[in-house]
Amino acid sequence: MKISKIYFTTEDKLKLTGLLYTPEEKSFFPFRFKEPKKVVIFIHGMYSDCLRKRDDIFAEELTKNGYAYFTFNNRGAEVGYMIRDVLYGTAFEDPMEGRYDIDAAIEAMKNEGFEEIYLFGHSLGCTKILIWNKYKKNKVSAIGLLSLTALSEKYKQQAGENTYKVILNFAKLRVARDGALKLLPAKFYPKPISARTFLTIFGENSEFNCVSYEDENWDAKVLNDLEVPLFMRYATINETITKKPEEIIAFLKGKLKNEVDLSYIEGTDHSYHGKERELIRQYIAFLRKNK
């Protein structure tokens, strides 16, 4: 397995960096045998980055099976800081702009010569993929979504409906008073997050908040609009969903119009600790089935 650092720039001029893991080239002397170049692009979630142990495990399994793996720090990486006057990180990002990161990553992989490109998202990264799909400029061959969260519903469940409304109103007031990038008090949200980012991710009427597991009238359009094979997984411990995974799966099966590889991984948490290899092997089986 070879590891390369990839630098690329988004449509809105944000410079991003990622790691590309590629398989060793197969050679049958005196001939060379080359398969179509295939790459899985991973979109991480809130307060995360591209340097997790999970990435090493995913890369090891994928490259053994002929797939490259590209993981990069999107504009929501880590907590938050400033890069050349551009606010960066989960605390300050506008997640709607994450679609620029995905398109740029796809273009970067095309420039590396990849012919088959797959998207694989985790948590908030899943929602970014769904938003990307609404505005996409590129096409991919398949999509994987790990722990797709109904954002406002889960936060409302944790905070309580009355507290949730208080925090929403507080954030709206901050934005109205030119405090969009000011952080919310820690009593409202345990990690640093700006008023604007909070409203985009958790606001009830936000375009980004496009998933529901509680509304029987939810049409699942953001999922049904995906025109490629879909892989979805959930965890069973401390998962960021409002019901048990088997209940979520039953709910989704009643909503989804297209065929989907939909299940959960037993005995692991939202980040799939300890079950990363089992998970990625299931994803590889899905890719092989749908090639």
Please indicate, yes or no, whether residues 25 and 127 belong to a single structural domain of this protein: yes
- Domain final position from 165, 184, 210: 210
Gap between the Cα atoms of 129 and 144, Å rounded: 9
Most distant CA pair in the chain: distance in Å?
71
Residue-level pLDDT at 291? 78
Measured in Å, how far apart are the chain's first and last C-alpha atoms? 22
Residue-level pLDDT at 34? 59
Please indicate, yes or no, whether residues 172 and 223 belong to a single structural domain of this protein: no
Please indicate, yes or no, whether residues 200 and 257 belong to a single structural domain of this protein: no
Residue-range definition of the domain harbouring residue 159: 151-210
Gap between the Cα atoms of 181 and 268, Å rounded: 35
Measured in residues, the chain has a length of 291
- Domain final position from 187, 210, 233: 210
Name residues of the chain where pLDDT drops below 50.
27-29, 33
Residue-level pLDDT at 88? 77
Please indicate, yes or no, whether residues 21 and 139 belong to a single structural domain of this protein: yes
The strand pairing partners of 146, in sequence order, are 122, 233
Please indicate, yes or no, whether residues 111 and 155 belong to a single structural domain of this protein: no
244-276 in b/e form (b: 16+ CB < 10 A) is ebeebbebbeeebeeebbbebbeebbbbbeebb
User: Can you give the CATH number for the domain in which 111 is found?
Assistant: 3.40.50.1820
Residue-level pLDDT at 49? 87
Residue-level pLDDT at 85? 62
Residue-level pLDDT at 149? 93
Please indicate, yes or no, whether residues 16 and 112 belong to a single structural domain of this protein: yes
Residue-level pLDDT at 82? 60
Please indicate, yes or no, whether residues 60 and 111 belong to a single structural domain of this protein: yes
Please indicate, yes or no, whether residues 197 and 58 belong to a single structural domain of this protein: no
* The two structure tokens encoding residue 177: 């008073």
Please indicate, yes or no, whether residues 267 and 202 belong to a single structural domain of this protein: no
Please indicate, yes or no, whether residues 42 and 7 belong to a single structural domain of this protein: yes
Please indicate, yes or no, whether residues 116 and 71 belong to a single structural domain of this protein: yes
Please indicate, yes or no, whether residues 9 and 73 belong to a single structural domain of this protein: yes
- Domain final position from 184, 210, 236: 210
Total domains in the fold of the chain: 2
Of 279, 291, 284, which is closest to residue 64 (Cα–Cα)? 284
Other Cβ atoms closer than 10 A to 65: 15
Of 65, 68, 155, which is closest to residue 120 (Cα–Cα)? 68
